[in-house]
Structure 1
Amino acid sequence: MSTIHDVAEKAGVSIKTVSRVLNGGTEVSLKTRTRIEQAMQALEFSPSAAARMLRGRPTGLVAVIAEKLTTTPDSTEIIKGIQQVCEQMGKVMLIGETGGHPDVARRLVADMRERRVEAILFATPFHRQVTLSAALGGTPTALANCFEAAQHHMQVVPDDEGGGYAAAQMVLQAGHRKIAFLQLISGMVATDLRQRGFHRAMREHGVAPDPAWLIHGAEADDANEFAHLSGAVDRLFASADRPTAILCGNDKMAMRVIFILQRRGLRVPADVSIVGFDDFRLISEALDPGLTTVALPYREIGEISGRYVLAPDADAVRTIKVPCAPVMRGTVGAPATRSKA
């Protein structure tokens, strides 16, 4: 981002002369004023931002560059967490929505820096790797719910591996050994990490997972990500040897699985135990019985990333993994001694 020094150098005048123009002084000749204004335009230098810089006053502004976050209801808690920190520290939060487009992200960053925000946070609706191509300069920056391979900035992400472990532990401790896992979309960061945690829990209990019961219950289809979920459940119950517990990639999937099982005449949890993931309370608390699930710590991710970026600790670790806590409600019980056909 260009500075007042750059403008003065390009126009061939002193910084004091540029300052006079920015503050509306009349003692600068028209020729010199025109040259300064042309230099500002060439350098894409904002007079309004420059005036604030000259006064040296903190703006109190914090920018959140979001990727489809404001339109994803089950992850808006990230925004609430950042907002809570801003309120406590007397800051004003500005939100820019990229829609997942890198060029929009770059424009938003440039605009936020022009407004001289004190910090920038990048936030995504699901745990994933990102590449920050925008020019951030020296603006304090943190990543919420996402990470970059180079780890140039503080990044706060959910401990999805620990979440997969916790989900499996709930049904294993209830006595289940026939456990199916309907996972999220193949290749997602969360999918791979949760599967790793699932396998770790199964090994600790001496249980070998049935490969045929490890199925992707969701697909990369914006129109209907669960188009083939009913068929996947049918495959799990195609023979007499069937699972007594099903782990689901998220609460939306778990709700649909419960409805599918009910249409088959199976009861939850009397015949089949179900575990979700997210603790999206519009679902998890609305179901009867309430959905046993693993909570994604969205609000905590927002709070931690916000606190760090507004009061950075030079000795802080570069990546913070926030635990995903198990939430026991009513959809997990002891395995039935006899499965209903």
Structure 2
Amino acid sequence: MVSIKDVAALAGVSDRTVSRVVNDEGLIRPKTKKKVQKAIEALGYVPNQAARLMRTSRSSVLGLITDVVSTTPFSTDIVRGIQDALDDTPYTLLTVNTSADPAKEQRAWKIFREHGIGGVFYVTMFHRHVPRDTEFPSTPTVLVNCSAPDQALPSIVPDDYQGGLDAVRHLVEQGHRKIAYVVLNELILAADLRGRAFFDGLAAAGIEVRKEWIVPGRVGAIFADKLVAFENARRILDNPDRPTAVVCGNDEIALQVYCAATDLGLRVPDDVSIIGFDDFQVITTGIQPPLTTMALPYRDMGALAVRMLLDIIAGHPPKKKHVEYRCELVIRNSVSPPK
């Protein structure tokens, strides 16, 4: 097995210099660093991370705890954003999927503590508050797509309210005043934020809220809910006095509204405009016409989480503990002025 002494001998430097290069410590002349890196590559040297941890009490491994993020297509961009941002750092990522099981989550924290994990990303599939009784160890932790209002933990979430407002504003700017809303599961925090934005957006434009045009898109317990958007959208569209535009709780719901409109012989956007939320591109670019939607900034949130966590590990806590990341409007072809 190649040792640090072998690398030092080939590079013509001390063991300590090799260690400083490996651990990215202190100021090292570029020429010396390049010699050491060439020797490492030539010999195929792999640092002993366990020994490094014992010496420094710092781990080059970061943990990521998810509920079902890593196994669902909707929010894997958070993980991708974290992984991409870590590429240029000495850190690697250990991911544990808990399937939203509290017992599994506790085991994950136990494993992380036992292995001296340097910091943790706590990531959820949908925007929510973590339960008040959730206990977080002293390990540096950043919450992503969730927050803990009762605990002083840094968190990054999408600005669902702003995204909801911008969706309504876009329709209003196109001239729509007969606007319906097919709602997310009401048990989800994003449903509340986007819903309040819908009402506030209509009020700001002086548009009457038609309560009969506000219908559920998903119902049931979280992780076991079912889509009801097709039948509800079909009911409100199958009427001479129908909305000219529909705001959808997410892109999956928007797909169901497309299907309902098609089933009634209505054309998107000529007969009804549709706007989604998430920018789940399997849907938004896969249907015709492509869906105008509000993009969740998942990849950017993941990258920001990395910067925030590494700053905390380095002893520089963030000035802003809670970040609401802006959702951007992605204009495609599903919205046009009403006829």
SS in 1 for 2:74: helix
Aligned partners of 1:324 and 1:75: how far apart in 2?
Answer: 14
Is 1:330–2:328 an aligned residue pair? no
Aligned partners of 1:262 and 1:87: how far apart in 2?
Answer: 45
Alpha-carbon contact 2:57-2:116 (below 8 Å) kept: no
Aligned partners of 1:133 and 1:53: how far apart in 2?
Answer: 28
Is 1:172–2:172 an aligned residue pair? yes
Is 1:321–2:324 an aligned residue pair? yes
Q: TM-score, normalised by structure 1?
A: 0.80
Gaps of 5+ in 1: 1-47, 337-341
Aligned partners of 2:136 and 2:243: how far apart in 1?
Answer: 51
Alpha-carbon contact 1:151-1:318 (below 8 Å) kept: no
Q: TM-score, normalised by structure 2?
A: 0.80
SS in 1 for 2:109: helix
Gaps of 5+ in 2: 1-47
SS in 2 for 1:73: coil
Q: CA RMSD in A?
A: 1.9
| Pairwise CA distance, 1:59 | 2.2
Structure 1 residue ranges, 4+ long, deviating more than 4 angstroms after superposition: 48-53, 221-224
SS in 1 for 2:235: helix
Report the count of equivalent residues.
287
| Pairwise CA distance, 1:51 | 6.2
For 2:124, the aligned partner's letter is T
* Percentage identity across paired residues of the two chains: 35
| Pairwise CA distance, 1:116 | 1.1
SS in 1 for 2:247: strand
| Pairwise CA distance, 1:113 | 1.7
| Pairwise CA distance, 1:76 | 0.1
SS in 2 for 1:240: coil
Aligned partners of 1:246 and 1:252: how far apart in 2?
Answer: 14
* Counterpart in the other structure of 2:163: 163
* Counterpart in the other structure of 1:43: none
* Counterpart in the other structure of 1:4: none
For 2:326, the aligned partner's letter is P
Q: Which has the greater radius of gyration?
A: 1
For 1:326, the aligned partner's letter is L
Residue 93 to residue 216, structure 1, CA distance change in 2 (3 Å): same
* Counterpart in the other structure of 2:261: 261
Aligned partners of 1:179 and 1:302: how far apart in 2?
Answer: 34
SS in 2 for 1:320: strand
More divergent stretch after superposition (206-215 vs 237-246): 237-246
More divergent stretch after superposition (202-211 vs 116-125): 202-211
Alpha-carbon contact 1:49-1:114 (below 8 Å) kept: no
Residue 209 to residue 76, structure 1, CA distance change in 2 (3 Å): same
* Counterpart in the other structure of 2:45: none
